[in-house]
């Protein structure tokens, strides 16, 4: 009898615990707060859905929405739709938009060191720059630089090596650069200025009409893929391939720090991972599209592709060193960034000379 009573007691206790568990689970499911949804705005410096540059932010927004199951949706605005292309940084800093997509060299007026995170004339290429940013301490310096403005930067794409640009006259010597009105920004713009040209900084959407009207004598933009899309071959006769000003063109996602910190941890990670995915994807797209676009420019539109003479390239290279040395001497942030950049560049350049460069020579 005692054994039967003991068994009954155990069964009753089990049923009671089970009921309590079901009750607690039921209470938990009914009292749990629903997950919060977030809606962000992303402003860019490019025309809406422009090939490569403008498509990157759109892909980013789609990645984020899918990975978050709709908990974070991002509306992308092209240049001029919400704010002008050159106001992206300030718009994100003041919180009018939670994110932006642009190029760091556009902010050189307020942050001289920012240019080093976009392109350095005769500097590292896209592969090398990504390595420095993500494994050489570059990203941490970039974040430190934007911290006072309440902005978190992450690499947001890369167009790879860029062409020297479009010219309405041939460049046969340094004398041909004198007084040349050229759309070119960043450190390259200052180099051109000292070489005798007149650098002009303007959004991509204004370049074509300026070349046509004569307001510009020349312009660099990106490369064949984007230059074909803008139809520059209709406005300028000579296309110079001599890469120097932008051996890489790292783009940036700008994230308002307060908005980012307000996200739960999983959404923060989704934003970072989506940015990294777009950064890698864009370089692959440009690598694939540029060669096909150049073929179209030459074979269909009879574009004349030229190269700068050695005299011009030597002058640009020597002037680049002068400009960077002066920037380093007059700005502590530039000095800190350049120290990291140059140390990494020296090491990776030596390694690539005996690997990548040697291979390119051997496969001829």
| Residue 94 covered by a domain | yes
> What is the distance between the alpha carbons of residues 209 and 224, in angstroms, rounded to a whole number?
18
> What is the distance between the alpha carbons of residues 61 and 77, in angstroms, rounded to a whole number?
11
- 314 and 207 in a single domain? The answer is yes
- 268 and 128 in a single domain? The answer is yes
> Looking at the 3D structure of the chain, how many domains does it have?
2
Which DSSP category does 112 fall into?
A: G
- 261 and 222 in a single domain? The answer is no
Q: For the chain, give the mean pLDDT.
A: 92
Place of tokens 């650069």: 177
| Residue 29 covered by a domain | no
For residue 219, pLDDT over 60 is answered with yes
Cβ neighbours of residue 229 under 8 Å, at least 6 residues apart?
Answer: 50, 51
Q: What is the pLDDT of residues 221-257, one digit of tens each?
A: 999 999 999 999 999 999 999 999 999 999 999 999 9
- 134 and 75 in a single domain? The answer is yes
> What is the distance between the alpha carbons of residues 130 and 247, in angstroms, rounded to a whole number?
13
- 227 and 124 in a single domain? The answer is no
Tokens of 153: 């930067």
Which CATH number is 233's domain given? 3.40.190.10
- Which residue blocks in 240-309 are alpha helix, DSSP H? 257-261, 265-299
Q: Residue 247 in contact with residue 187, Cβ under 8 Å?
A: no
- 170 and 253 in a single domain? The answer is no
In Å, what is the CA distance from 197 to each residue of 16, 248, 249, 310, 324?
A: 87, 22, 22, 18, 18
Nearest to 163 by CA among 23, 297, 334, 1: 297
Taking the CB of residue 295, how many other CB atoms lie within 10 A of it?
11
Q: Residue 161 in contact with residue 247, Cβ under 8 Å?
A: yes
Tokens of 12: 């009753």
Q: Residue 99 in contact with residue 267, Cβ under 8 Å?
A: no
**Mean of the pLDDT values across residues 183-189?**
96
Q: Quote the pLDDT of residue 29.
A: 42
Gap between the terminal Cα atoms of the chain: 96
- 52 and 114 in a single domain? The answer is yes
Q: Residue 42 in contact with residue 101, Cβ under 8 Å?
A: yes
Q: Residue 236 in contact with residue 167, Cβ under 8 Å?
A: yes
- 116 and 80 in a single domain? The answer is yes
pLDDT cut 70: percent of the chain above it: 91
Taking the CB of residue 126, how many other CB atoms lie within 10 A of it?
23
91 phi-psi bin (left φ>0, alpha ψ -120 to 50, beta other): alpha
> What is the distance between the alpha carbons of residues 46 and 50, in angstroms, rounded to a whole number?
7
What are the backbone dihedrals phi and psi of residue 44, each rounded to the nearest 5 degrees, phi first? -130, 165
> What is the distance between the alpha carbons of residues 218 and 239, in angstroms, rounded to a whole number?
10
- Domain containing 133: what range? 38-159+248-288
Quickly state the pLDDT bin for 33 (edges 50, 70, 90).
low
Q: For the whole model, what pTM was predicted? A: 0.89
Tokens of 122: 């005769």
Taking the CB of residue 195, how many other CB atoms lie within 10 A of it?
18
| Residue 3 covered by a domain | no
Which CATH number is 137's domain given? 3.40.190.170
Q: What is the pLDDT of residues 76-111, one digit of tens each?
A: 999 999 999 999 999 999 999 999 999 999 999 999
For residue 10, pLDDT over 60 is answered with no
Q: What is the pLDDT of residues 125-138, one digit of tens each?
A: 999 999 999 999 99
In Å, what is the CA distance from 188 to each residue of 120, 191, 267?
A: 8, 5, 37
| Residue 354 covered by a domain | no
> What is the distance between the alpha carbons of residues 41 and 254, in angstroms, rounded to a whole number?
11
Tokens of 297: 């420019």
What are the backbone dihedrals phi and psi of residue 301, each rounded to the nearest 5 degrees, phi first? -110, 5
- 118 and 197 in a single domain? The answer is no
For residue 19, pLDDT over 50 is answered with no
Domain boundary among 256, 288, 320: 288
For residue 271, pLDDT over 70 is answered with yes
For residue 158, pLDDT over 50 is answered with yes
| Structure-derived torsion over alpha carbons of residues 140, 142, 147, 150, reported in degrees to the nearest 10 | -120
């Amino acid at each position: 009898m005692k054994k039967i009573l003991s068994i009954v007691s155990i069964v009753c206790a089990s049923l009671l615990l089970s009921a309590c568990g079901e009750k607690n689970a039921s209470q938990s499911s009914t009292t749990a707060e629903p997950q919060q949804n977030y809606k962000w705005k992303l402003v860019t410096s490019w025309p809406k859905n422009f090939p490569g540059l403008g498509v990157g932010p759109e892909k980013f927004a789609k990645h984020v929405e899918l990975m978050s199951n709709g908990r974070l949706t991002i509306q992308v605005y092209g240049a001029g739709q919400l704010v002008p292309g050159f106001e992206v940084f300030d718009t994100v800093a003041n919180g009018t938009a939670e994110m932006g997509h642009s190029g760091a060299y556009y902010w050189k007026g307020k942050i001289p060191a920012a240019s080093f995170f976009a392109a350095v004339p005769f500097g590292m290429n896209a592969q090398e720059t990504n390595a420095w940013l993500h494994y050489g301490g570059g990203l941490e310096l970039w974040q430190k630089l934007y911290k006072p403005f309440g902005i978190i930067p992450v690499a947001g794409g890369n167009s790879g090596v860029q062409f020297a640009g479009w010219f309405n006259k041939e460049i046969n010597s340094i004398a041909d650069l004198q007084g040349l009105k050229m759309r070119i920004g960043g450190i390259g713009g200052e180099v051109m200025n000292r070489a005798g040209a007149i650098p002009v900084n303007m959004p991509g959407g204004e370049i074509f009409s300026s070349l046509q009207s004569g307001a510009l004598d020349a312009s660099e933009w990106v490369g064949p893929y984007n230059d074909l899309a803008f139809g520059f071959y209709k406005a300028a006769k000579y296309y110079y391939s001599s890469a120097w000003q932008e051996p890489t063109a790292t783009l940036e996602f700008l994230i308002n720090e307060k908005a980012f910190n307000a996200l739960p941890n999983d959404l923060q990670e989704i934003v970072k991972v989506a940015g990294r995915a777009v950064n890698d994807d864009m370089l692959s797209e440009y690598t694939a599209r540029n060669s096909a676009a150049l073929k179209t420019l030459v074979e269909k539109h009879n574009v004349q592709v030229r190269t700068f003479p050695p005299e011009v390239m030597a002058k640009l290279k020597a002037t680049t060193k002068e400009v960077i040395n002066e920037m380093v001497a007059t700005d502590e942030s530039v000095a800190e960034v350049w120290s990291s950049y140059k140390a990494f560049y020296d090491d990776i350049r030596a390694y690539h000379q005996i690997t990548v460069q040697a291979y390119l020579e051997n496969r001829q």
